[in-house]
Copies of this chain bind each other. A is one copy, B any other.
Amino acid sequence: MKRSEQKATWQSIEAEVLRRIRLREWAPGDPIPHEDALARELGCARSTVNRALRSVAEKGLIERRRRAGSHVALNPVRRVTLNIPVLRQEIEDRGATYGYVLISEDHAVPPAPIRAILHSPPDASWLHIRAMHFADGKPHVIEDRWIDDTQIPQVSAADFAAISPNEWLVRTVPFESGDISFLAEAANGEDANLLGCMTGDPVFVTERTTRQGGRPLTTVRLVFAPGHKVKTQI
Contact = CB atoms under 8 A, between A and B. Distances in A.
Interface of A is mostly: strand
A151 to B, nearest CB: 15
B180 A80 contact: yes
Number of copies of chain A assembled together: 2
Question: What are the 5 A-B residue pairs with the smallest beta carbon separation, nearest first?
Answer: A184-B184, A22-B174, A202-B202, A78-B84, A178-B234
B82 A178 contact: no
A122 interface: no
A233 B230 CA distance: 17
B79 A81 contact: yes
A83 B86 CA distance: 23
Given A186-B201, A186-B202, A203-B184, A233 B179 contact: yes
Which of A83, A86, A202 has the most C-beta atoms of chain B within 10 angstroms of its own C-beta?
Answer: A202
Interface residues of A, number: 49
Interface string A59-96: 01000000000000001111111111110010000000
A134 to B, nearest CB: 19
A170 interface: yes
Given A78-B83, A171-B28, A228 B186 contact: no
A232 interface: yes
B77 A181 contact: no
